[in-house]
Chains A and B, each alone.
Chain A
Amino acid sequence: MNYDKLLAPAAVSMRPSGIRKFFDLAAEMPECISLGVGEPDFKTPWAIREAGIDSLEHGRTTYTSNAGLKELRMEIARYLKRRMHLNYDPLSQILVTVGGSEAIDMCVRALVAPGDEVIIPEPCFVCYEPITTLSGGVPVHLPCRPEDDFRLKADALKAAITPRTKLLILPFPNNPTGAVMEKEDLEAIAEVLRGTDVMVLSDEIYAELTYGSEPFVSIASLPGMAERTVVVNGFSKTYAMTGWRLGYAAGPAQVIKIMTKIHQSAIMSAPTTSQYAAVVALRECDKEIERMRDEYNMRRRLVVKSFNDMGLTCFEPKGAFYAFPCIKSTGMTSQEFCSTLLEKKHVAIIPGDAFGASGEGYCRVSYAYSVSHLKEALKRIGEFLAELKAARGEA
């Protein structure tokens, strides 16, 4: 069989492409220490695990309704009201999905027709582009600049909107930069969008992990925005539940209805055990969120200060669990820096250009690791920089 001819070209050419080699190399090094993962190092809080076990003991092993357990959707609605000041009807405006990723997929598939443009601020999580392309949509990359603290600026957005623009992806708090959009930033974006037919996919998966003085604000909470926004969130990052594969989308009933129809065909329903566990997460685990956030915050400060002390300028990330130090001072590209670091010091971090061309000159460093792990990795990176300097003949 000639699989090259058989496989769909759109799927074969999907991103990410080159980065795989880098990870394979890292995986082959037993002594390699990674700062590469995109998931919490905490275990799922026990009350949540117990609820999952309890649901299994009671034999709750069937599908749930397609949109998700009614009980869970009601808890999600209460949670969105309590913590994000959003109002959604649990029965018509919420869909429980297999992770936030599926919610993104369903939202794009429900909205994007061939030729529609999807504005994707970069650097960002890499799934938006391939999902757009598979729907026949046209990704429009919009670089966020370090001098803007990697925030999306209203004038740049305005300039990118065309009559074909269907959807704006709003990935904040951002992976990989850790940037957040504050209320006035969002107001400016909302001002551009009101009066257009452009929808927003607000990926709020890191909403609970923000460290600034201002609490997270969802664009859907601004006047006139709920009707043009699909909020995507999930349990993975907030409750350290990545392996449970559970997320959700909340938005206008007409959009959620179509998303649910696609979900019904592609997925049927999200994992039942996870849904029962998630009910307890939303009901009982606000304190656990605080505990994990405090811990991430301490590591964040340590990592950011260490990079700045080493001479790698690191913008202060105010959300998620990533730092995004600038490596331009080394004269290397992101790929060169990361592969040489891996080869010489056996530390794996992710080259910034993997998250879009505007990430070139930066690297993503996850701080979802213990302090001692972080210290060892930072020490090695420090040594690496010192050796680079010495090789260049600088003191």
Chain B
Amino acid sequence: MEQLLKILEDNARLPVEDIAAMLDKSPAEVAAMMDLARAQGLIKGYKTLVDWEKAGVNRVEAVIELHVSPKKSRGFDDIANTIASFEEVESVLLMSGGYDLQLVIKGKTFQEIALFVAKRLSPLDDVLSTATHFVLRTYKKEGKLYQMDEIDERECTML
């Protein structure tokens, strides 16, 4: 199962027949494993990595650092789940170090993100402070390069 998940993590669009060949299994077996992985919540979903800058579509992305006040019995879970339920929020991570939660927010404009922080995040009782950092440019994401092509520099003739 781990190998299947690794293959899918790298390329979710590989045909089941190819994955089956790679894992020395039948396509039916692989399909069943994928169903099981989804049912068990091991696979959370399939998405596409889009270079929006190249596509000429305006998108703004920001990383927000939050200090929050944890609750006695539930720690950070309550506030983290509350924030995670906001549609604008792409990811919510509990961090070690200088702050508590890190959010990634996507919006159409700077304004939209600023308003989200001012009107929805900051007023939450448990949010003590926020620091918003806008993403200026993406160089690499999910292991894929965005600003340059992967170049195969191997050119030695070895027979």
Contacts and interface: CB of A to CB of B under 8 A. Distances in A.
B154 interface: yes
Interface centre among A23, A41, A305 (most CB of B within 10 A): A305
Contact of A305 (B21, B158, B159): B21
Contact of B159 (A41, A302, A350): A350
Contacts of A242: 156
Interface centre among B3, B7, B18 (most CB of A within 10 A): B18
A333 interface: no
B87 interface: no
A350 B18 CA distance: 24
A299 B22 contact: yes
A382 interface: no
Contacts of A188: none
A146 interface: no
Contacts of A305: 21
Contacts of B157: 19-20, 23, 36
B14 interface: yes
A302 B156 contact: no
A27 B159 CA distance: 16
Interface string B136-159: 000000000000000010111111
Contacts of B159: 16, 19, 38, 125-126, 176, 350, 354-355
Interface string A1-42: 000000000000000100110010001000000101111010
Size category of the B interface is 10 to 19
A306 interface: yes
Interface string B1-38: 00100010011001000100111100000000000000
A294 interface: yes
A39 B158 contact: yes
B21 A37 contact: no
Contact of B154 (A39, A126, A176, A306): A39
Nearest to B24: A301
A67 B154 CA distance: 29
A125 B159 CA distance: 6
A34 B155 CA distance: 10
Interface string A173-206: 0001000000000000000000000000000000
A58 B18 CA distance: 48
Nearest to B18: A302
A38 B159 CA distance: 7
A298 B22 contact: yes
Contacts of A292: none
A375 interface: yes
Contacts of B10: 371
B154 A298 contact: no
A298 B7 contact: yes
Interface string A286-304: 0000000010001101100
A245 B18 CA distance: 35
B21 A301 contact: yes
Interface in A38-82: 38-39, 41
A169 to B, nearest CB: 15
A126 B10 CA distance: 36
Contact of A41 (B14, B154, B158): B154
A39 B156 contact: yes
B108 to A, nearest CB: 32
Contacts of A299: 22
A306 B15 CA distance: 13
B88 to A, nearest CB: 33
Contacts of A375: 18
Contacts of B22: 298-299, 301-302, 371
**Which 3 pairs from chain A and chain B are nearest by CB?**
A38-B158, A298-B22, A305-B21
15 contacts: A36-B157, A37-B154, A37-B158, A38-B156, A39-B156, A39-B158, A125-B158, A126-B159, A298-B22, A298-B23, A301-B22, A302-B18, A302-B21, A355-B159, A371-B11
Interface of A: 16, 19-20, 23, 27, 34, 36-39, 41, 125-126, 176, 242, 294, 298-299, 301-302, 305-306, 350, 354-355, 369, 371-372, 375
Given A27-B155, A371-B14, 14 more contacts: A19-B159, A23-B157, A37-B154, A38-B159, A39-B156, A41-B154, A298-B23, A299-B22, A301-B23, A301-B24, A354-B159, A355-B159, A371-B10, A371-B22
